Homo-oligomer: A and B are copies of this chain.
């Protein structure tokens, strides 16, 4: 005999057993429904994508360190998609001629990143992606933020539990450049330091700034920059970029009916964001971290098409979302029990038992029948263990008069009803 193979899933990936899967399904079904009430249409795409679509604009860290890459027999370099945005930009570009913009699309792909597994971070996760393509209007931003508030509402989360933090990369670029006195080529590396400002100790951040050529005075200005309020931040930016900022319009004109907080530290790790960027944070002290984020990427489809098609959207992964729901006791309970079991008193009644089960299933009742010939008592115990709420018993005597017994397992009450009425009797027992 060869040695037994390990039963654990590959490091950083997860098996979803039915109880956990039921929670995942319930949470994401609610999200799908809410997203669809905003008129978004679901799409899907392949796990494997050409590496090139990430190399251009997704950022060095992702491509060099986090991609799972393989080469096929035709020497194509393929990646397991680490995120969905380049794929959806590809699809939009491919079909731009027959789409009516603005296009509202969403998807729920599994994405892979080669990361060190830790709290909130895995190698394969399931991510809801929501994007609006083809609108330069600030109303696209507003709709995305309204949708985010609606998603939390449908999960039972009050706006006091989370925070949408927003920034504008265009504004931030100009403000940082002018406030600190940076050369344009220094801004991007300083953005990368800002992106981790709250995650790393102060000294590490200052060291990194020094590594990018900033002297102590400049580093002190960066530190002051991180504490700017929105009016001061806007003042720091060049006058010609202030008027372009959708974030400034939303905050100044109160366009969003719901909370939104400016944060100069939100710059996002992906290179393709062009202006609006945001992250949604859990505000509870036990889980004070980013749940997800997104932004506006007006040039991403330019990889694939000469037609200008601006985009804005976000990706919401299952791991950080479940951590948030767990922190706030908003996770739904697993729902994996059958509604009913149908049992028979003797093997000759199996056919009738099957007929009763078929009737219940036709009516949408989750119905289990025994496979192995245990006695009634044993099967009733099994039914209780499975969490069934109703047992239907096909006994010889009752069968003789065309009847069955419907037992409410929670209340230990039972009634004899005509076999033809079994679905409605079980239905009303379940509805109690």
Contact = CB atoms under 8 A, between A and B. Distances in A.
Interface stretch (A133-141, A183-191, A193-201): A133-141
A45 to B, nearest CB: 5
B112 A47 contact: yes
Number of copies: 2
Interface in A345-371: 351, 354, 358, 360-361, 364-371
Contact of A49 (B10, B90, B338): B10
A170 interface: no
B46 A10 contact: yes
Q: How large is the interface on A (under 10, 10 to 19, 20 to 34, 35 or more residues)?
A: 35 or more
B37 A366 contact: yes
Contacts of A367: 37-39
Nearest to A305: B4
A364 B29 CA distance: 13
A135 B372 contact: yes
A305 B3 CA distance: 10
B371 A137 contact: yes
Contacts of A56: 2, 5
By CB atoms of chain B within 10 A, which of A94, A365, A371 has the most? A371
Interface stretch (A73-81, A211-219, A288-296, A394-402): A73-81
Interface of A: 2, 4-11, 13-18, 21-22, 24-25, 33-34, 36-39, 41-50, 52-53, 56, 68-70, 72-74, 76, 78, 80, 90-91, 93-95, 100, 102, 104-105, 110, 112, 114, 123-124, 132, 135-137, 139-140, 143, 146, 150, 257, 303-306, 336, 338, 351, 354, 358, 360-361, 364-373, 382, 385-386
